[in-house]
Amino acid sequence: MKIAMLTWEYPPLIVGGLSIHCKNLAEALVKMGHEVDVITTGEVMYSSKPELVNGVNIYRVKPMIKEGEDFLSWSLLMASEMEKKLGDLEIDKYDLIHCHDWMTSKVGINLKYLLNKPYVQSIHSTEYGRCSGINSKISEIINEMEFLSVFEADEVITVSNASKKELCGIFSAPDNKIHTIYNGINLSEYCINQDSDELSEFRDELGIKNDDYMLLYVGRLEHQKGVNYLIRAFRILADKYKNLKLVLVGEGSQHDYLKSLSENLCCNNNMIFTGFKNGDELKKLYCCADICVVPSIYEPFGLVALESMASETPIVVSNTGGLSEIVNSKNGIKVEPKNPKKLAVAISKLLENNEFRNNIINNAKNDLLNYSWDNIAYNTSKVYKKAVKNKLDSKNDSSSEIIERI
């Protein structure tokens, strides 16, 4: 099957989990025998020539304005450039268009009507969830675009049953059109056998001693991530554990607020803001940590939880969204969101009970086998097959030739 996959971020551009998701899915689909062309953006790494990486053809378009100038206009212009690029690539050759999130959905909708192409839409999160409601004109526009993408797509993929319930609720989407396919992880990429001396040296560079406890947060510094509740929990723990350090990995609009909060709570001396990290550095951070905390208020899936589990670092997460589905009482600890006291109790339990901690690590390792990209690609191809078959049946065409390629 020939697939055009559209995403606004793709490595080496990594803003959130979407970039890694699209890369791993595209490569796993190629492994299955599909042909995948990724159409994405490229400010710094833009090239008029395609890249071939692990069997995936990558085409980058250059938006007409810089992202920071006007995000909404940037997104719409990016989508227009993607549509032009698909025109240059002889769009008729594709069996299906797969768009990720609202920024690229305009292309899928247009091609559905102009060329009658099957259109699959992936929704990784919603504006309503990210903002805890619709409270600005821009949010209203984005929410409307998300609604249109769900309404117009032939099939919709989302990352958890919680997200599916959200789409059915806020957009009144039909249940049989929404498919839950969890995110995945490549276990071989995580450094569970990292050299202990190298990790000790890495901790030392961070200012963390060998006898210090290290708490880790990885993610954007935004309201929906609940980092302020983690900092408040850290303040509760700081008096009991003098050698406790908190490392916050990520960037976002709440950076200055969170720094100010840590200073006001007098715990900033034991906190480290590293900024954005990825690749080997991030994997070392997971391995160095004693506990990884995901304190989200809103979290459609929670890839950080899988990455931490793969690194044999126990997790404490908010009992919300996709986190509540992938974490259970045997492979991690769940606490109610926005509750620093309960967060502190859960962290303390992992710090003080080694037997419990080791059981959590071992159980998590076994559960990760359910999140292979081979499984995710297989389930995604089943959704593709349904979209193509339904489109062909509606045209009363013979579908056998294309179905054989799926």
pLDDT, one tens digit per residue, over 60-91 is 998 777 666 688 888 889 999 999 999 999 88
Question: Which of 68-77, 179-188, 231-240, 359-368 is predicted least confidently?
Answer: 68-77
Confidence of residue 260 (pLDDT cuts 50, 70, 90): very high
DSSP symbols for 232-285: HHHHHHHTT-TTEEEEEE---TTHHHHHHHHHHTT-GGGEEEEE---HHHHHHH
Q: What is the pLDDT of residue 68?
A: 61
Best CA proximity match to 190, nearest among 305, 290, 291, 283? 283
- Taking CA atoms, 334 is separated from 222, 329, 356, in Å, by 21, 7, 14
Residue 405 has pLDDT above 70, yes or no: no
Residue 353 has pLDDT above 70, yes or no: yes
- pTM score of the predicted model: 0.90
| Domains contained in the chain, CATH given | 2-184+372-405 (3.40.50.2000), 187-370 (3.40.50.2000)
Count the neighbouring beta carbons within 10 Å of the beta carbon of residue 401.
9
- Tell me the torsion sign for CA atoms 332, 333, 338, 341: negative
Q: How many residues are recorded in the chain?
A: 406
Q: What is the pLDDT of residue 394?
A: 77
Burial of 75 (0-12, 13-18, 19+ CB in 10 A): buried
Best CA proximity match to 215, nearest among 254, 183, 256, 262? 262
List Cβ neighbours of 266 (8 Å cut-off, separation of 6 or more): 235
Q: What is the pLDDT of residue 45?
A: 58
Cα radius of gyration rounded to whole Å, the chain: 22
Average pLDDT over residues 47-57: 88
